[in-house]
Structure 1
Amino acid sequence: MSVYLCSDLHGDFKGFKRLLDKVAFKPNSNKIYILGDIIDRGKENIALLEYIMSLYESGCASVIKGNHELFLERYLRGELSSKQWSAWGGFGTFNELCKLSSHQKARIFDFVSTLPHFIELEAASKPCVLTHAGLMADFLVENNGKISVLKSLQKALNFDEFEFLISPDIHYMSHAELARLDKYLFVGHVPTFQLDINGQNYIIKNEFYTDLDSGSGYSGGRVCALRLDDMKEFYA
């Protein structure tokens, strides 16, 4: 079974379908983990979300909550205005959502409100954690000279879910701090063109974490996937 990771699809339904075709994704024998931000900024946000929900229900996809899923959840709870959500990229999703029935909205709410914030797995024979944005620098938990990734994530989440899901801190932590992490991280959230000196939309890997946000939803961006079996990258 091949396992794929992707993140920050941002409503690019056509791009995601091209990506699945490119990797020859087979629901009966493959698995895909999506690290949040399925919606907003794109043109087919709800169609993409409902398609991924169907993959999730069939057991071949797992989804982690990103900040844009949180925006949708908070809008449906009545805790976020459409004006504020639109300012954060949700204008298209909001318009698509308005066309749905109450039943459809309730189904989407049940899905996004129960998504996990991180998932553990093993890749390349080492323990790894999948999460959307990464660590918050002020909430690192030490354990026998190492930084416990899981305890640090949970501490930050317990403090404030919104701040946890928008934090870019992992990209600005010192080498010494990153070297003390007890698990490898896979994240999205920050488009890699903002981190690359040449502004390129590629997966960025280092010895401590991988950023899978290749800029979908931005000019020149695209969707991507990483196959954990051999760490091969795919773009669409």
Structure 2
Amino acid sequence: MARTVVVGDIHGGLKALIQVLNKVEVKDEDTLIFVGDYVDGWSESAQVIQFLIELSKTIKCIFIKGNHDVWAEEWLRSGEVNPTWYIHGGKETMESYEGFTDMEKSKHLQFFEGMTLYHIDSKNRLFLHAGFTSMHGVEKEVFQQTLYFDRTLWEMALTMDKRLEMNSELYPKRLKYYHEIYIGHTPTIHFNSHLPMQAINVWNIDTGAAFTGKLSAIDIDTKDFWQSDDLPSLYPNEKGRNK
């Protein structure tokens, strides 16, 4: 049976990505949805992008754009270095591109440009990097940056009373809009969890791969999930974003 598997924030951890996909045992008929932040952190950001480009030739993949991907895309396009990006993993991403040709970098830029900011499937499940604020859904979001920077959606879902019925007037309209919502961006390790977390109908798949956590993937129908080893053990001579 074909599966849809969501993969969390990778942050340059190619070893973790390969490890997780091997555990998933991806089949040709599966669909992989990546919630963004492929780069910035560990030393193999460019290699992650190259791997995903090749993977997408044989497996159906949906690539959602994260805030770190926006920064990396701008650098590949213009050569300009955003200072905020540089200190939050950009330096490591730039270093990972040493030895890549201009042609290869151009193909990577096209890959970033081809990413989507969100995906809605046939069962009204939403996939995006961070969150949204419009009570009318992502298509009505005024500022697209919100889709890859917002944390209020997750914070709101975490604080909600689980006894609240969806038909209640108090139930947030933006949560009613979708059957389920899958995000990354805000590491679950900040909430003392190394596992994917659910709050109401929101699933957070970012389990802190950029820091001391693991890379996670989840089957959205069965809720089975797989995890890599923690990233510091896979890159023992690096700090990732643990600076």
Normalising by the smaller structure, the TM-score range is 0.7 to 0.9
5 Å-filtered alignment, 1:1-236, equals 1-26=2-27, 28-78=28-78, 80-81=80-81, 83-122=83-122, 126-136=123-133, 140-141=134-135, 148-149=136-137, 153-156=138-141, 158-159=142-143, 161-173=144-156, 175=160, 176-177=171-172, 180-183=175-178, 184-194=180-190, 196=191, 199-219=192-212, 221-236=213-228
Q: Secondary structure at the match of 1:39?
A: coil
- Alpha-carbon offset, residue 163 of structure 1: 4.2
- Alpha-carbon offset, residue 79 of structure 1: 7.4
- Alpha-carbon offset, residue 170 of structure 1: 0.5
Q: Which amino acid aligns with 1:231?
A: K
| Deviation sequence 1:38-88 (CA, Å, 0-9, x none) | 111012111111111112233422111111110111112327416442212
User: Using a 3 Å threshold, how does the CA distance of structure 1 residues 81 and 228 change in structure 2: closer, same or farther?
Assistant: same
Checking the alignment, whether the CA contact within 8 Å between 1:121 and 1:127 is kept in structure 2 is yes
Cα separation, 2, equivalents of 1:180 and 1:164: 15
Checking the alignment, whether the CA contact within 8 Å between 2:128 and 2:148 is kept in structure 1 is no
Checking the alignment, whether the CA contact within 8 Å between 1:132 and 1:189 is kept in structure 2 is yes
Structure with the largest fraction of helix: 1
Structure with the largest fraction of strand: 1
Runs of 4+ in structure 1 over 6 Å off: none
Question: Which runs of 5 or more structure 1 residues have no equivalent in the other structure?
Answer: 142-147
Question: Which runs of 5 or more structure 2 residues have no equivalent in the other structure?
Answer: 161-170, 229-243
| Deviation sequence 1:89-140 (CA, Å, 0-9, x none) | 1111111224311111110111101211111114xxx42110000113xxx1
Given the two structures, how large is their TM-score scaled by the length of structure 2? 0.81
Checking the alignment, whether the CA contact within 8 Å between 2:9 and 2:185 is kept in structure 1 is yes
Checking the alignment, whether the CA contact within 8 Å between 1:82 and 1:94 is kept in structure 2 is no
Cα separation, 1, equivalents of 2:173 and 2:194: 23
Q: Which amino acid aligns with 1:187?
A: I
Cα separation, 2, equivalents of 1:214 and 1:82: 26
Cα separation, 2, equivalents of 1:86 and 1:180: 34
Report sequence identity in percent: 20
User: Using a 3 Å threshold, how does the CA distance of structure 1 residues 79 and 181 change in structure 2: closer, same or farther?
Assistant: farther
Cα separation, 2, equivalents of 1:112 and 1:232: 29
User: Using a 3 Å threshold, how does the CA distance of structure 1 residues 227 and 180 change in structure 2: closer, same or farther?
Assistant: closer
RMSD over aligned CA atoms reads 2.0
